[in-house]
Structure 1
Amino acid sequence: MKTTTISKLVLGLLAIASFGAMAQENPWMIRARATHLNWDNGQSTAAIGPGGYDVNAKNKTIPEVDITYFFTKNIAAELVLSYPQRVEVKAGQTSLGTVTALPPTLLAQYHFTQFGPLKPYVGAGLNYTRFGSRNLGLGGLGNAFSVETSSVGYAAQVGADYMLTKNWGINLDVKYIQIETDVIANASNTSAGTLKLSPIATSVGVTYKF
């Protein structure tokens, strides 16, 4: 009887300790990454100017920070942030000027945990892009064109963290982000077509798990 009581007591203490360890595990993770934006220029339909040039955006690499919160060891939400980016818009090879784009993205993620220090994940969610400095021109056309103020689109993601220690790791991430905006002819306030940015965003960076 005494042995049984002691065994139950030990098992109870182990259960409490295990629960305490789980409760103390911090659910937050942050990453700092360099992200290359490869714009989907081939799908833009706007053709402006005397030559009817298609508009396109110049690819660029930007800094990016994301914040991840784990609801369970597998399910998480990620908020991807960057400062407003200047995007050069061109007609053919001629610059029309730049617009600024602020593109926060929120994703729901599933993290795979059965591969040791390698932590692959997939995600899907929404992007909201706010455009500023929206006027564009071509040669003597001045600010003849502009873009709409915002875009809402879906985002899909695949990536992996490789944890070097309990807290620090390296990250590789690829996202497709749908970003589209109408190009407006300012004189008539009518659509001149669509600028489809929709980049493939390839990122590499560092991970910190709290």
Structure 2
Amino acid sequence: MKKIFLTLLSLTLFTGSVMAQEQQEQKEPQDYKKWMVRVRGVGVVPNESATIGTIGGGVSLSNSFIPELDFTYFFTKNIAAELILGTTKHNVNTTSSDLTAVGLPNSVDVDLGSVWLLPPTLMAQYHVYAGDVFKPYVGAGVNYTIFHSKKTGNTVQNVDYKNKFGYAFQIGFDIDINDTFFINFDVKKIFLKTDVTVDASNLAGGPLDIPADVTIDPLLLGFGVGMRF
């Protein structure tokens, strides 16, 4: 939590600094558009791992492909903030879990159903003008992932996911079609962990809560189109 606070404080100071710079630059002619909106198709590839109590084993999350919408505001010609919106569904199961305590084999993949992730992400970006058409950028920021619309499946009683803050990094580039429209390629890495509790009381014939520390750390590969205004 301390790291999250320091990151948010840094972003706040960063925003204040660029706003002051913007006020100074308002005295000069503006040669850029302040707003940008993009629509992307994004492949979501989790890099998952887990420490699971009681039954051990690992975790597996399915890949996903989603639409993504983002809005970018330019404080200066080079410095911007981007809000990224999208939601993704993943099927979840444990791998090689030991269920001998409930009369099952010692290496079983347990179906935990599916869950949707909503990770709104705020990025601070630096844009480079490498020519009239090619415009690369890098970004870093924070996200807050909300786990919603879970379906537990038919194996266990319930699965609970804790909403969590995480970090995000980004690299990408725009290729201009004209002054308004452009093509975008974008790669993001989100560093995300969550606490999961599996209620397996239906398998044990009595109370059985299985805790797990799950790392998701998805890689997001995006391609889309955008416009400036």
Task: Sort the TM-score into its range (normalised by shorter chain).
Answer: 0.7 to 0.9
Provide closer, same or farther for how the CA distance between residues 98 and 71 of structure 1 changes in structure 2, counting only shifts above 3 A: same
Q: Equivalences for 1:32-181 in 2 at 5 Å?
A: 32-41=39-48, 43-46=49-52, 52-82=56-86, 84-92=87-95, 94-134=110-150, 136=152, 139=155, 141-143=156-158, 145-148=159-162, 150-181=163-194
Pairing 1:198–2:217 present: yes
Gaps of 5+ in 1: 1-18
Query: What TM-score do you get using the length of structure 2 for normalisation?
Result: 0.72
1:47: Cα distance to partner? 6.0
RMSD of aligned alpha carbons: 2.5
Matched residue, 2:226? 207
Q: Whole-Å Cα distance in 2 between the matches of residues 39 and 106 of structure 1?
A: 20
Q: Choose from 175, 183, 188 the match for 2:196.
A: 183
Question: For 2:129 and 2:167, how far apart are their aligned partners in 1?
Answer: 26
Q: Answer whether contact 1:154 1:178 (CA < 8 A) is retained.
A: yes
Paired AA for residue 39 in structure 1: P
> Is the partner of 1:78 in helix, strand or coil?
strand
TM-score (ref. length: structure 1)? 0.78
CA distance in 2, matches of 1:69, 1:191: 44
Structure 2 residue matching 1:63: 3-state secondary structure:
strand
Deviations 1:147-197 (A, max 9, x none): 21x110110000000001111110000000112111114467966222211
SS class of match (1:44)? strand
Moved over 6 A (4+): 187-191
Aligned residues with identical type, % of pairs: 39
Q: Is the 8 A contact 1:48 1:91 kept in 2?
A: no
Q: Distance in 2 between matches of 1:72 and 1:85?
A: 32
SS at 2:51's partner residue? Answer: coil
Give per-residue Cα distances to partners, 1:52-101, cap 9 Å, x unaligned: 4422210011000100000111000000012x432211223553111121
Give the unaligned 5+ runs of structure 2: 1-26, 96-108, 202-206
Measured against aligned partners, the alpha-carbon deviations of 1:6-46 in whole angstroms (never above 9, x if no partner) come to xxxxxxxxxxxxx78528x53000000000011012x3223
Alpha-carbon distance between aligned partners in 2 of 1:182 and 1:37, rounded to the nearest angstrom: 20
How has the CA–CA distance of structure 1 residues 62 and 135 changed in structure 2, closer, same or farther, with 3 Å as cutoff?
closer
Q: Assess if the C-alpha contact under 8 Å between 1:48 and 1:54 holds in 2.
A: no
